[in-house]
Amino acid sequence: MCGISAYIGFREAYPIVINGLKRLEYRGYDSAGIMIYDGKKMQLSKTKGKVSDLELITDEDEQRKIGTIGMGHTRWATHGVPNDVNSHPHFSESGELVIVHNGIIENYDTIKKELIKRGYTFKSDTDTEVLINLIEEVKKVEGCKLGKAVQLALNSVVGAYAISVFDKSKPNEIIVARLGSPIAIGIGKDSKEFFVASDASPFVEYTKDAIYLEDEEMAIIKIGKKVKVHKINDDSLVEPTVQKLKMSLDQIEKGGYDHFMIKEIHEQPKAITDTFRGRMLVDQSIIKMSSIEENIEKFLSADKIIIVACGTSWHAGLVAEYLIEDMARIPVEVEYASEFRYRNPIITNKDIVIAISQSGETADTLAAIKLAKSKGAFVYGVCNVVGSSIARETHSGAYTHAGPEIGVASTKAFTTQITVLTLIALKLGKANKSLSSHEFKNYLQKMQKIPRQVEKLLEVDDQVKEIASVYKDSKNCLYLGRGFNFPVALEGALKLKEISYIHAEGYPAAEMKHGPIALIDENMPIFVIATNKGHYEKVVSNIQEIKSRSGKIIAIVTEGDTQVKEIADHVIEIPETEEALTPLLTTIPFQLLSYHIAVMLEKNVDQPRNLAKSVTVE
């Protein structure tokens, strides 16, 4: 969490850094700060609140904005409450060095005590101020340059970091380093300017050339020089790979929508198409995925597949469990990455681990991957962010081509993850003949129709808005589904609670009578998925049970349904498809519903309280 944005070059740094911070606010938004160096002094502005609050401060004094070197930060608090003092950047004791940091220094307390003994004082409660003072102390004691001091200091800390450090006495360079938290360097024409950021979005309009630092690497960025990258734990030089960015500016802007979330909901037809384009060749009745083809023997002979993920990605993993077991008859277990990594799981080199992550930076998922690799398992990643830590750490994998997802609540990431996982299930099912050619072909044909069906389904927006207005003041909600749609019920409940702060729970419909039924009264809205092929009659019975206890029913049904329509208070129709593919459709009304309720309650849809888009701390 936390976003870093920095600039060194010939342009005014302020607008570049501030716009960069706005694009990175999805990473944290409880406080923000910026340092601009004007050639003589480092001008610091910081505050609790959002980047827009920071702008109110800098707008009071235009002088604070002048300078061609700048470093900014948007924070998601770990050590120290969100307040002005704990906001980054942080100066060293002498005021000569400044740092912005994303991550956690675990042994900061021990280091802080030692530094206090040596006369250092601390203004904030942060681990970051400890790190910059440690760098200063090392620089003083060793009499070395900034780069060396950063390296030595980092070798004595435990934790995770992406940092950017500037020394007033060396105003043509910035030092950056990474361990566990991402950092990208944008290279301007002829190395006359450089950009540093947590992802490439802050500099996409200035350059397409970027270096993504690997773990345990640091870079010395000097105006007019080639970026020098070396290992943190020794001095060995690394030849950095300069990647060409594919991201475009309009992908990271709202494009006329009020919020990123609603833009991203509407992008799903395209995102799903982009995800299967070139992979699903319906005419030839094949799925082309080289990452699966190259490892097909491993998949087909695996004892089991273990899926690890967090949050929405974990829900996509649950859908995949149903898909892979149904279509390919390979045993699947789905684990919260945070539990898996600490519970001494039974895992061998005959197992395959699939790690699912939109950001590719989730700390728990990354740790689960490392554990699985240490036990000899083959690890396959399903990620959205190209070049992310998880994409690099896994043995092989497939990208979801959702494009940047900026709203904190995952929408298109979920449906594109399910798309990739469906392709994998189908491919494995065909390879081990669990699916007949006829079944396989039928799935491909139905899958091809999904983007158009999602597009049509998005037209229920007005109807969903009306339902939202009826239930927006509810205190509790239940979401029920069975089979392939049980995970969609969980995801529907997560969407509602994370952006509208209404308590919601997802349950397998049949489990209701083992507890949650006690909650049902006339004030309880219950969102039920009752598609025509998925245990339909059983779900209808569940709906009857709710009705006889005066619960309010909002049902998602298949077009043409008559039975549920008679009992439910509201029905939303989805187009007909194979039951295994319905999660790609049933999830859409739930996304819209959460969105509209949150808007009606005037909540911050894209940046809900206490959350961050990528959770890079455990």
Give catalytic residues, as residue numbers. 2, 613
Work out whether 453 is an interface residue with ligand AGP (CB under 6 A). Answer: no
Among 409, 489, 598, 599, binds ligand AGP (CB under 6 A): 409
Least distance (Å) between residue 596 CB and ligand AGP: 16
How far apart are alpha carbons 53 and 607 in whole angstroms? Answer: 15
Closest by Cα among 483, 314, 329, 523 to 410: 314
Choosing from 408, 424, 460, 464, the residue that interacts with ligand AGP (CB under 6 A) is 408
Contact between 135 and ligand AGP by CB under 6 A: the answer reads no
Cα distances from 496 to residues 105, 468, 594, in angstroms, run 34, 11, 5
Which of these ranges, 108-116, 196-204, 224-232, 406-414, lies near ligand AGP under the rule CB under 6 A? 406-414
Tokens for 160, please give them.
């995770």
In the chain, the N- to C-terminal Cα span, in Å, equals: 11
Whether the Cβ atoms of residue 326 and residue 580 lie closer than 8 Å to each other: yes
CB of 404 to ligand AGP, least distance (A): 12
Q: Quick check: 434 binds ligand AGP (CB under 6 A)?
A: no
CB of 408 to ligand AGP, least distance (A): 5
Stretch that binds ligand AGP, among 18-26, 262-270, 404-412, 442-450 (CB under 6 A): 404-412
- Determine, following the binding rule CB under 6 A, whether residue 310 of this chain makes contact with ligand AGP: yes
Q: Indicate which single residue of 275, 362, 394, 434 sits in contact with ligand AGP (rule: CB under 6 A).
A: 362
User: Of 312, 531, 577, 591, which lies in the binding site for ligand AGP, with binding defined by CB under 6 A?
Assistant: 312
- Using the rule CB under 6 A, is 498 a contact of ligand AGP? yes
Among 359, 485, 582, 586, which residue sits at the site for ligand AGP (rule: CB under 6 A)? 359
Residue 615 in the binding site for ligand AGP (CB under 6 A): yes
Min dist. Cβ of residue 591 to ligand AGP (A)? 10
Q: Is 87 in the site for ligand AGP (CB under 6 A)?
A: no
SS3 212: strand
Q: Quick one: which of 421, 402, 390 has its CA closest to 260?
A: 402
- Cα distances from 340 to residues 348, 353, 371, in angstroms, run 14, 11, 9
Single-letter residue type at 347: I
Q: Look up residue 376 and give its DSSP letter.
A: T
Q: Nearest distance from residue 303's CB to ligand AGP, in Å? A: 26
- What is the DSSP-derived secondary structure letter of residue 557? E
Interaction of residue 357 with ligand AGP, rule CB under 6 A: yes
In angstroms, give the least distance from the CB of 415 to ligand AGP: 12
Q: How far is the CB of 456 from ligand AGP (least distance, A)?
A: 24
Radius of gyration from C-alpha coordinates of the chain = 26
> Tokens standing for 60?
């009071």
Residue 358 touches ligand AGP, criterion: CB under 6 A: yes
What is the spatial distance between Cα 173 and Cα 7, in angstroms, rounded to a whole number? 10
- Residue 261 interacts with ligand AGP (CB under 6 A)? no
Residue 477 and residue 481: Cα distance in Å, rounded?
Answer: 14
Considering only 52-60, 353-361, 516-524, 547-555, which stretch makes contact with ligand AGP by CB under 6 A? 353-361
In the window 585-614, what residues touch ligand AGP (CB under 6 A)? 614
- Judge whether 29 and 48 are in contact, CB under 8 Å: no
Return the range that interacts with ligand AGP (CB under 6 A); candidates 27-35, 223-231, 309-317, 370-378.
Answer: 309-317
Closest-approach residue to ligand AGP (CB): 311
| Range 365-384, binding ligand AGP (CB under 6 A) | 365
Residue 131: closest CA among 160, 162, 95, 92? 92
Give the rounded distance of the alpha carbon of 246 from its chain centre: 19
Give the start-end residues of each E strand in 168-318: 173-179, 184-187, 194-197, 209-212, 217-222, 228-231, 237-238, 243-244, 280-281, 286-287, 304-309
Q: Identify which of residues 199 and 498 has a Cβ nearer to ligand AGP in the complex.
A: 498
Told to check if 394 binds ligand AGP by CB under 6 A, we report no
Question: Do 378 and 395 form a contact (C-beta atoms < 8 A)?
Answer: yes
Strand partners of residue 104: 160
DSSP secondary structure letter of residue 307: E
Footprint of ligand AGP on this chain (CB under 6 A)? Answer: 310-313, 357-359, 362, 365, 408-410, 498, 614-615
